[in-house]
């Protein structure tokens, strides 16, 4: 690495100072033109019913109300479903969940709009219908948002029948609220010639453009969507920002005035979906060493009332069930249950965590059945580098398999074996407090599992003073995407990072973009920006070669200068000369991920460009009287290839670990069993982890090895994979609970492992010990 390199070095987030100073502009900070109106949504008061009427006169008579919109007022399509046309913007005939938007109030102020919308319980008349409120009930009824999916290899039934050992069980994991700091918001501003500018907090500007155009009956070129930054997304603003974008745009087009729709936290919880909760039923065969011989597993996801992104979420769950392990005979069945609740959607990991968590729970139970260290069982089942034990159930070869070496390094660095022995001694002498320890690995596939989405575009503009502006199709939600893309361009042109700036994502600059999701932001947009920068660099190299009297290959860019041998000039001087010679100083770049293919009907192919790996050791302390638990230490070793920005990557890993830990320990979603009302709809009732919940001893290291695949500067994605690291926390809690029971017990610990769930598991193992 040279002193002029701009990638592979830690750089501050491009908006870090703006974040802490309050200068960063989010959608709600945009200066409001005179005449701006505000929208609020009237929500269904019932989980399932037939909509009979809405008392519009009552709503229109409220102070400050200028208009009330219903489904009948939508000029185009009343649909905001990203894949299937089953998700209305405003309910028209059927009420599908408690909290579903039925009408929109447009008023002179946000407060007045919300006050009028709150009359929904009075204004909406309905006929109640039976509601299905949990995935198990929907599964028993055969009620799905799309047909079941099946992924199989070998002969699972025969492998189970002949296995020396067999284990069956059921388990469940709850969903998770994205809890982005900035809630859902859209600001629509009518433009001349029947056009619409939409400032939207969204991970998918192009999809918002298309859906708003469909709702208005416009062509796509009449709708412009901008997003400078989001205050967090985590998947919750991939598809589900659409409803709010459409309502704001419809109101603005009808009234020909700017309209802002900003949800408060309670309404955000009540309207939007979240991570899919999963129920599992499994039957597993194995031998006396813990080697898995066959498995048949049902995965039942709670999809809510509509399909949204549930199909690709389930597909990814099925493709990640294997996690890090070779499974010779499997039969996996995915059921996407339709319930009368919010439509669940993308969340960091996109089904991958729900799939991989199942095999980790199974392997832990296998180890306890056999009286073996769960780490040993995991290591025995890992994918290998040769033979048939490096092919996934869906047919992709596991290449660049570094996991065994990564685990061995983590075992040594974390002093796993010594701590395991010390914890056993501690637990024998401690009656109330119990410690637990667990090491879990991960293998996570990187790419959209819909092949055509793996593309990106970028624009790079070089100005005559030598400064550079970059625009790409990705969105910045705090993860540092703009910082990394700017580093890539600065590195390519040999400039200091301060010379390069990224502008707001804009559908009028980069068209037909994919969502910033699936951990592909840096991979796709970084490559596209690099492609654009290289085109400009080639033009400048040719000019420099003429000036220096050499070949273009001899021209070097670095430190803000361009040189060949002893001759050099500043980058700005060369740019000025290029301008004077009418050489194009801007370029577009494009990138498509190579080698992908996927048969969605049979779940076969190569859906992932490469795999990212990692492992974590978690140590916990459990109070057996209260059920409370605490992570006392976490050791993480994670694979990001050759990191583009180590500081940002470590921050992403730390954040993912704590977020995943929250999913598995404290973030419990509850609905009223009769009415279907979401009971955990605010910070007072839904508990995300705080800084105090972070491990006091938190050791995060990068497994610094270049990606074997030609990714952007041989780096690897870091958005979603590390969310699987805190599996170690859940299993460490289970380990602590097991120490309170008889030798060899296998506690049934549900997730999230709240204090109540831990107490329930403790009572069960103690009951076994007294029999």
Half-sphere CA count of 478, side-chain side, radius 13 A: 18
Cα separation of 474 and 520, whole Å? 9
Token pair in block for residue 471: 């625009």
Within 10 angstroms of residue 543's Cβ, the number of other Cβ atoms is 18
Q: Is the dihedral of CA 396, 401, 407, 410 positive or negative?
A: negative
Cα separation of 716 and 485, whole Å? 14
Token pair in block for residue 724: 């699987």
Catalytic residue status for 421: no
Alpha helices, DSSP H, located in 581-678: 646-665
Concatenated DSSP letters of 340-383: SS------TTTTHHHHHHHHHHHHHHHHHHHT--HHHHHHHHB-
CA dihedral 208, 209, 213, 216 (to 10 degrees): 60
Radius of gyration, alpha carbons of the chain: 27
Q: How many residues does the chain have?
A: 771
Strand 185-191, strand 259-262: pairing: antiparallel
Cα separation of 709 and 642, whole Å? 11
Is residue 155 helix, strand or coil? coil
DSSP state of 505: E
Cα separation of 666 and 680, whole Å? 12
Task: Look at the block and give the residue holding tokens 């939508």.
Answer: 74
Cα separation of 727 and 22, whole Å? 35
Within 10 angstroms of residue 733's Cβ, the number of other Cβ atoms is 30
Concatenated DSSP letters of 541-595: HHHHHHHHTS-GGG-EEETTEEEETTEEEEHHHHHHHHHHTT---EEEEEEE-TT
Task: Look at the block and give the residue holding tokens 């460490």.
Answer: 732
Q: How far is CA 195 from CA 27, 190, 209, 259, in A?
A: 19, 6, 11, 14
Closest to 223 measured CA to CA, from 231, 232, 214: 214
From 207, 238, 296, 720, active-site residue: 720
DSSP state of 499: G
Within 10 angstroms of residue 159's Cβ, the number of other Cβ atoms is 22
DSSP state of 709: S
Cα separation of 530 and 711, whole Å? 11
First to last CA, the chain: 65
* Residue 135 zone, left/alpha/beta (φ > 0; ψ -120 to 50; rest): alpha
Determine contact, residues 287/293, Cβ cutoff 8 Å.
yes
CA dihedral 732, 734, 737, 738 (to 10 degrees): -100
Catalytic residues: 720
């Amino acid at each position: 690495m040279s002193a002029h390199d701009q990638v592979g070095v830690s750089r501050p987030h491009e908006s870090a100072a703006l974040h802490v100073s309050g200068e960063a502009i989010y959608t709600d900070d945009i200066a409001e033109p005179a005449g701006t109106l505000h929208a609020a949504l009237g929500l269904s008061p019932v989980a399932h019913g037939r909509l009979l009427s809405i008392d519009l006169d009552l709503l229109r008579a409220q102070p400050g109300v200028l208009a009330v919109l219903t489904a009948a007022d939508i000029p185009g399509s009343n649909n905001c479903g990203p894949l299937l046309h089953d998700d209305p913007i405003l309910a028209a005939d059927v009420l599908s969940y408690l909290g579903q938007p039925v009408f929109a109030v447009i008023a002179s102020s946000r407060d007045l709009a919300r006050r009028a919308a709150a009359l929904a319980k009075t204004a909406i008349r309905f006929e109640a219908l039976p509601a299905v409120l949990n995935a198990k009930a929907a599964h028993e009824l055969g009620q799905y948002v799309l047909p079941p999916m099946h992924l199989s290899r070998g002969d699972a039934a025969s492998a189970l029948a002949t296995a020396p050992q067999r284990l069956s069980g059921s388990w469940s994991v709850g969903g998770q609220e994205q809890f982005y700091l900035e809630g859902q918001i859209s600001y629509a501003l009518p433009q001349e010639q029947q056009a619409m500018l939409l400032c939207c907090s969204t991970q998918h500007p192009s999809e918002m453009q298309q859906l708003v155009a469909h709702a208005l009956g416009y062509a796509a070129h009449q709708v412009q969507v901008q997003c400078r930054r989001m205050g967090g997304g985590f998947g919750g603003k991939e598809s589900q920002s659409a409803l709010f974008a459409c309502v704001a745009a419809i109101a603005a087009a009808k009234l020909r005035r700017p309209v802002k729709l900003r949800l408060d936290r309670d309404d955000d919880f009540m309207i939007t979906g979240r991570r899919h909760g999963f129920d599992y039923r499994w039957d597993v065969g194995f031998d006396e060493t813990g080697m898995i011989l066959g498995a048949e597993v049902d995965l039942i996801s709670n999809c809510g009332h509509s399909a949204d992104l549930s199909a690709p979420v389930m597909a990814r769950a099925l493709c990640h069930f294997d996690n890090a392990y070779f499974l010779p005979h499997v039969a996996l069945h995915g059921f996407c249950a339709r319930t009368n609740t919010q439509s669940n959607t993308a969340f960091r990991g996109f089904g991958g965590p729900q799939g991989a968590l199942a095999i980790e729970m199974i392997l832990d139970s296998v180890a306890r059945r056999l009286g073996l260290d769960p780490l040993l069982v995991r290591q025995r089942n890992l994918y290998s580098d040769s033979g048939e034990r490096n092919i996934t159930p869906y047919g992709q070869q596991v290449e660049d398999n570094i996991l065994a070496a990564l685990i061995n390094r983590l075992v040594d660095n974390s002093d796993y074996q010594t701590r395991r022995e010390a914890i056993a001694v501690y637990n024998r002498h401690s009656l109330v407090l119990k410690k637990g320890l667990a090491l879990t690995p991960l293998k996570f596939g990187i790419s959209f599992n819909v092949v055509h989405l793996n593309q990106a575009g970028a624009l790079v503009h070089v100005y005559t003073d030598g400064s550079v502006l970059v625009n790409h199709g990705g969105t910045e939600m705090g993860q540092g995407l703009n910082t990394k893309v700017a580093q890539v361009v600065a590195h390519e042109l040999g400039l200091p990072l301060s010379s390069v700036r990224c502008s707001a994502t804009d559908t009028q600059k980069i068209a037909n973009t994919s969502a910033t999701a699936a951990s592909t932001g840096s991979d796709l947009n970084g490559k596209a920006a690099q492609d654009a920068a290289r085109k400009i660099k080639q033009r400048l190299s040719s000019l420099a070669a003429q000036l220096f009297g050499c070949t273009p290959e001899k021209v070097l860019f670095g430190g803000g200068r361009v040189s060949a041998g002893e001759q050099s000039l500043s980058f700005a001087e060369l740019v000025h000369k290029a301008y004077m010679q009418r050489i194009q100083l801007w370029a577009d770049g494009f990138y498509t991920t190579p080698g992908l293919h996927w048969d969605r009907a049979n779940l076969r192919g190569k859906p992932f460009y490469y795999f990212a790996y990692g492992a974590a050791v978690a140590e916990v302390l459990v109070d057996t009287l209260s059920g409370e638990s605490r992570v006392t230490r976490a050791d993480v070793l994670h694979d990001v290839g050759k990191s583009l920005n180590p500081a940002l990557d470590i921050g992403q890993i730390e954040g993912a670990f704590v977020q995943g830990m929250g999913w598995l320990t404290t973030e419990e979603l509850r609905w009223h069993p009769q009415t279907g009302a979401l009971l955990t709809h605010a910070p007072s009732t839904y508990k995300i982890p705080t800084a105090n919940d972070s491990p006091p001893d938190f050791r995060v290291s990068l497994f610094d090895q270049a990606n074997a695949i030609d990714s952007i500067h041989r780096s690897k994605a870091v958005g979603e994979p590390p969310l699987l690291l805190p599996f170690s926390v859940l299993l460490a809690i289970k380990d602590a609970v097991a120490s309170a029971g008889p030798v060899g017990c296998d506690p049934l610990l549900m997730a999230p492992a709240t204090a109540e769930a831990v107490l329930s598991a403790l009572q069960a193992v103690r009951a076994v010990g007294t029999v």
